Amino acid sequence: MENFKNIAIVGLGQIGNYLYNEIKTKKKEIEKKTGSKIKIVAISAKNKHKKRRFKIDKKIFFSNPLKIIKEEKIDILFECIGLADGISKKIVETALKNKIHVITPNKALISKHGDYLSKIAENNKVNLEFEASVAGGIPILKAIKEGLATNHIKKVYGILNGTTNYILSEMEKTNEVFEKVLIKAQRLGYAEPGNPKLDLNGFDAFAKVRILSALAFNNKISNHKCIMEGIENIDLKDIKIASQLNLKIKLLGISEIINNKLFETVHPCLVNKDSYIGNVNGVMNAVITQGKPIGESILQGEGAGPGPTSSSLLSDLLSILRGNINNPFGISHIKRKKIKPFDSNYYSNSLYLRFEVYDKSGVLSLITNRLAKFKISIKRIIQTPDKKNNKATIVIITHKTSEINAKNCLSIFKRNKNILKYPTLIRLYN
């Protein structure tokens, strides 16, 4: 008797629609590689009549996705709605409790409820797969769970958001300001047309960092406050100055173990132009793991868009069809531990500080004396006068200092009339 698997797709936005077509067109190839017959028996979206890229079979359409589980025999469900709570969580929870495998690209859902949902999956001996939730088409989660499973990983970092990487790359390439490049990114489909805030403010990348941490370090998903900064305040001036210093600005997500404690962060970093990460441009993502015995391992590819995302979704589908029943985070939820957070106040970096000031005597000494008071050592100073407006730009590169030192030191500059605005701070990647 042939092995039939019934599939449901919930959410027919850009990703769900593309996935539907991919399964339809690659059906024979999938069946050949897995030995299982597949059939899409149910689909669901808010709007049945919405114009879509591909023709949707309305005979299998459900307005209410929860009815699918009640009325159809489903083996595998794709959740492509994308919310952290509400119907996204409800449909995944209900499916797992009904012994249905779930595949999702929903990083918001997994980073918030992954522990809870993985426990349900394990108890019901079904899969909860989310390869597509981190870095699009890059198989980084499988690499950590399987390929690097016996390695002792100490650090995972990289470019985890294609939108921000495109904007920073394009600003450098075209000398166009942030606002102009953002509009271009929206037009090309790299940024949300309405509100791209979650990409720009670092939240999207931070959700991915938390998923990577859980897999790399076998810990429960953390919920402590950390440094999370986006690229909204990156000025074209900073991009140009960085280039003169043989540096580039990249938004990095970083997760590492420091003194047996977990440190997670997302923020813009200055990286060397000649470094590997410095040469990952456009919408590309790159994830780097550091551990023993393998040392450094790098995976790079397109991190956004329906094509790369569907590639990972289908990878998870093939894994399930081949009979690979896995714990969602690699090991049982019982064995996963809580790791105490590293206090971000003591996170240490060299700093790039840009001051916009009135070009008056004593202003530079005011800044340097203040830095010295907090034991922040200066490595380099660049001063660019604007004689026409009696202003100047002062850029200071420091030696390593702690977050708390930098914060306390810079606070005074809010109140000084010769400092035109609060200094721009960008960390150099360690």
Q: What's the average model confidence in pLDDT over 275-302?
A: 95
Q: What is the pLDDT of residue 29?
A: 97
Cα–Cα distance for residue pair 366/343, rounded to 1 Å: 30
CA distance 395 to 353: 6
Domain end residue (candidates: 108, 133, 158)? 133
**Tens-digit pLDDT profile for residues 181-193:** 999 999 988 888 7
Structure tokens at 267: 């923020």
Total structural domains within the chain:
3
Say if CB 19 and CB 313 are below 8 A apart: yes
Domain identity same for 386 and 352:
yes
Is 333 part of any domain? Answer: no
- The domain boundary, picked from 89, 104, 133, lies at 133
Beta strands in 54-114 (DSSP E): 61-62, 76-79, 101-103
Same domain, yes or no: 96 and 161 = no
At residue 2, the pLDDT reads: 62
Residues 191 and 228 in one domain: yes
- 208 included as an active-site residue: yes
Does residue 126 share a domain with residue 150?
Answer: no
What pLDDT, on the 0 to 100 scale, is given for residue 194?
78
Query: Is residue 160 located within the same domain as residue 94?
Result: no
Are 226 and 208 in the same domain?
Answer: yes
The residues facing 248 across adjacent strands are 271
Which range of residues forms the domain containing residue 253?
140-303+340-344
| C-alpha closest to that of 142 among 131, 134, 132 | 131
Active-site residue (options: 5, 89, 107, 208): 208
One DSSP character per residue, 324-377 reads ----TTSS-TTT-BPPPBP-GGG-EE-EEEEEEEE--TTHHHHHHHHHHHTT--
pLDDT in tens, 116-140: 999 999 999 999 999 999 998 899 9
pLDDT score recorded for residue 1: 36
**What would the mean pLDDT of 208-222 be, rounded to a whole number?**
96
Same domain for 369 and 391, yes or no, is: yes
* Residue 293 and residue 168 share a domain: yes
Token duo for residue 5: 């698997």
Q: At 9, which CATH number?
A: 3.40.50.720
Averaged pLDDT for residues 238-256? 97
The reply to whether 116 and 159 lie within a common domain is no
344 burial level (CB within 10 Å; 0-12, 13-18, 19+)? middle
Quick: pLDDT tens for 13-23: 989 999 999 99
Tokens 């996170």 appear where?
347
Strand 76-79 and strand 424-428: the pairing is unpaired
Residues 290 and 374 in one domain: no
